[in-house]
Chains A and B, each alone.
Chain A
């Protein structure tokens, strides 16, 4: 049975947004939806800051010499950009905002398993972020977001407060991860078997496992750097008897899986939205679900591909190289499945769909260049150049950001009960996709030419491509400004969305928009089908 667009329900009189209007009712809320909205606010601030840092860096690169700042400011600026974007935006973006808001509704539950811990995680996030940013203002670290020892343990510039800020923030990730795992295991509604879970839930499940297993290692390694700085222990600095490669192993043991913390939820969003806008069952539900777990597992054994030229053994390089190829395969399976889902679908081209298209291109191109840098001998030239910068921005900004924007546009009507201007949505989506390509494709070429990353001054032969990249980044900026304007306007003046403006079968669309405080009007739902089953007759016919 295919649902048609349902706008009749209108704007409900009572919903989670007006269930309490005092500041206190927001600050002390345990409602997962309000927590999701608070995260959205905090994360948008982080995105704004990180984006401005990036823009300032791009402007510095307009000329080969000094342009608008001195080298120390530049080094602090790229550290700030990396720290803000990785830890304050990308890692919490989709799980903490959309995961919090939609996971319980998708599972047919009133809330997550530990609502008070959920609230605590917001405060841990805010304290950690404020601590880090405050520390950066008073004595900005200039180590880069990677904190490579022994530079980070021997530089005269203050580093420790920044490390502690990120250490605190890590607990917010861990708490959220545990909360989601327990919720998915114990709070699924009647009839909601594992094979009926929305693919977004599978992706969040995989992400949460990585968060819980990997984040403590990050906390540990940051703490060890702080210990070396404060007590002069010789852990990483050879001058004090330590081993600098040990730092890199520990750091990437977290930070490579962290890439999948950013990308897995993005993949979940795409699975949901592709199915909805193509109005078709996922072309291989099990393949997508299990490949999420596959990525979560294999992702833990590929960290050494960040260290091919760092001084690890040749054998290690080979082992990490082969394992990296397998992570690529899981991603390839997902891409084929999404494209296959479009086959014989009934596709409606909307703003979220524009972002899905962008996502597919960026993920395939970024993923394939990822396989290219995992090809050991090629990485020797590309390592620590702009090629790598462009590659991971294709995955993190390209893919993860596209999915974040797709999710924001897809779920905005459900979260706030109103729709935005579709025309402006498509304008800004085209600007962002175009601007993104214009920013980062020149950076691939810069990397091929041999432009190392984190260079304040650069040889003149690189200038024209740097200027092209900066031009692209301003396009990106305008794209985001337009989105911000029309979404804020839509909050007040947007057309009432109704229960199900997209005609989606996703479970979250069964509640009013915005949902009532306890998610469902009367009793909790029971489940008799999966969320992606758009077929008329439930009868399996194979493609031949």
Chain B
């Protein structure tokens, strides 16, 4: 019955504990709505036929509803409405109250990407990995305008605001890939601000997390927020990343492949770039350094020459660190979790 109604109503799969609960109310509300509007429609249709005008001088009786009928008009719908509200508000309070043992993940939204950070280290862009059967609390904030974190398969949505934290939580019930959409209009590429939740089996998740901590697998690192003080500059790449933030490179260059004001840094190293002049160059260390010091010399086709020069502002070791950071930004083919076929197209990095 549940599966049948879900399909009739075109609802996505029920991948969280909350979704099943909220769907049962959904079915009840929609069925009542259908019955009520059909009943009103049928009553009107019956009256059109039964009481059609038979002559132009026909008269009609003066009718007023008796008090009991009038009260019925008020009491019956109100009872239904309040019952829906009571049940719905109970579920809503549940959604607003994350369990105490929930695992925390920080979510940072900006135009037009999602970044997920785990308290104990790793972070990733666009892809949130979580274990199944464990409540996850998302603590969310935005760096620019309002966004909204929406996972249709979990039936959760929460606006993500600049300047404050909002929270929501879910408990995924089965491993799989689920789409994240931005639901609050946030500008030109609002519709491309998508992400993905990969629900792993708990043991797989633990392995992944451990790998991340050991630094064996270096996945795409995110843009650190200015208030994220990651101290010891362990290696050149990390240092380059912090410099890229400090010098404002990432205001125009994206590092996740999304189009922005300037060419993306993802997979930039060794990429063949067509220039405004008609030539094609390979973006090697030399070209990348030249572009920092004399950005108007070789402008990639399709971009405006708006970058200021950093000559004299960035020292040589710093430039090298930034270059190393750019070189580290390699896309990997998306890993397929062992799960059912996803119901939407997974994100493919270019």
Contacts and interface: CB of A to CB of B under 8 A. Distances in A.
B11 A349 contact: no
A445 B60 CA distance: 43
A314 B188 contact: no
B182 A452 contact: yes
Given A318-B89, A329-B74, A346-B51, A375 B62 contact: no
A283 B81 CA distance: 24
27 contacts: A151-B145, A155-B187, A279-B59, A287-B65, A342-B48, A342-B51, A344-B63, A346-B53, A347-B48, A347-B51, A364-B36, A368-B37, A372-B30, A376-B85, A377-B22, A377-B88, A448-B9, A450-B152, A452-B183, A455-B190, A458-B191, A465-B10, A503-B56, A533-B62, A539-B62, A542-B64, A544-B66
Interface in A268-288: 278-281, 283-284, 287
Interface residues of B, number: 87
A383 interface: yes
Nearest to B30: A372
A358 B272 CA distance: 60
B157 A381 contact: yes
B78 A340 contact: no
A311 interface: yes
Interface stretch (B90-98, B102-110, B223-231): B90-98
Interface string A360-387: 1100110011011011111011011100
B250 interface: no
Nearest to B59: A536
A543 interface: yes
B33 interface: yes
B65 A340 contact: yes
A461 B185 contact: no
A150 B162 contact: yes
A281 B48 CA distance: 16
A40 B2 CA distance: 50
Contacts of B81: 325, 328-329, 371
Interface string A300-319: 00000000111100100110
A358 B147 CA distance: 37
A284 B88 contact: no
B191 A455 contact: yes
A2 B92 contact: no
B3 interface: no
A138 to B, nearest CB: 19
Given A309-B158, A540-B62, A541-B62, 15 more contacts: A144-B185, A309-B159, A311-B158, A311-B161, A318-B93, A337-B73, A339-B43, A343-B51, A349-B48, A364-B36, A364-B41, A372-B84, A375-B88, A461-B343, A542-B64
B12 interface: yes
Nearest to A308: B92
Contacts of B60: 278-281, 344-346, 534-535
Interface in B152-199: 152-153, 155-159, 161-164, 166, 179, 181-192, 194
Interface of B: 9-12, 22, 25-26, 29-30, 32-33, 36-37, 40-41, 43-44, 47-48, 51-54, 56-66, 69-70, 73-74, 77-78, 81-82, 84-85, 87-93, 95-96, 144-146, 148, 150, 152-153, 155-159, 161-164, 166, 179, 181-192, 194, 343-345
A249 interface: no
B146 A150 contact: yes
Interface string A225-238: 00000000000011
Contacts of A339: 40, 43-44, 47
A460 interface: yes
A322 B183 contact: no
A148 interface: yes
B207 to A, nearest CB: 30
Nearest to B166: A311
Contacts of B345: 459-460
Contacts of A360: 40-41, 44
Contacts of A465: 10
A4 interface: yes
Given A347-B53, A449-B152, A361 B10 contact: no
A238 B142 CA distance: 10
Contacts of B59: 2, 279, 346, 534-536
A503 B57 CA distance: 10
Contact of A329 (B40, B57, B77): B77
B77 A151 contact: no
B164 A454 contact: no
A73 to B, nearest CB: 10
Nearest to B184: A384
A151 B182 CA distance: 14
A343 B59 CA distance: 13
A348 interface: yes
Contacts of B89: 317-318, 321, 376-377
Nearest to B151: A450
B51 A344 contact: yes
B30, B37, B164, B185, most chain A CB atoms within 10 A: B185
A218 B23 CA distance: 36
Contacts of A534: 59-60, 62
A449 to B, nearest CB: 5
Contacts of A314: 92-93, 96
A333 interface: yes
A82 to B, nearest CB: 11
Contacts of B156: 380-381
A380 B155 contact: yes
Given A343-B63, A541-B62, A371 B161 contact: no
Contacts of B61: 344, 535, 541
A332 interface: yes
Given A314-B96, A377-B22, A283 B146 contact: no
Contact of B148 (A244, A322, A384): A384
A72 interface: yes
* A-B residue pairs, 6 tightest by C-beta: A238-B163, A450-B152, A535-B62, A377-B91, A375-B88, A342-B47
Contacts of B64: 281, 283-284, 540, 542-543
Contacts of A238: 161-164
Given A368-B37, A541-B61, A543-B65, A151 B51 contact: no
Contacts of A535: 59-62
B37, B51, B63, most chain A CB atoms within 10 A: B63
B152 A461 contact: no
A39 to B, nearest CB: 31
A217 B268 CA distance: 50
Contact of B92 (A5, A377, A458): A377
Contacts of B48: 342, 347, 349, 357
A287 B71 CA distance: 11
Given A309-B159, A380-B95, A283 B65 contact: yes
A123 to B, nearest CB: 34
B22 A378 contact: yes
Contact of A244 (B12, B63, B146, B187): B146
Given A321-B85, A325-B82, A381-B157, A309 B148 contact: yes
Contacts of A317: 89, 92
Contacts of A537: 62
Interface string A369-409: 10110111110110111000000000000000000000000
A344 B52 CA distance: 9
A364 B39 CA distance: 10
Contacts of A89: none
A538 B47 contact: no
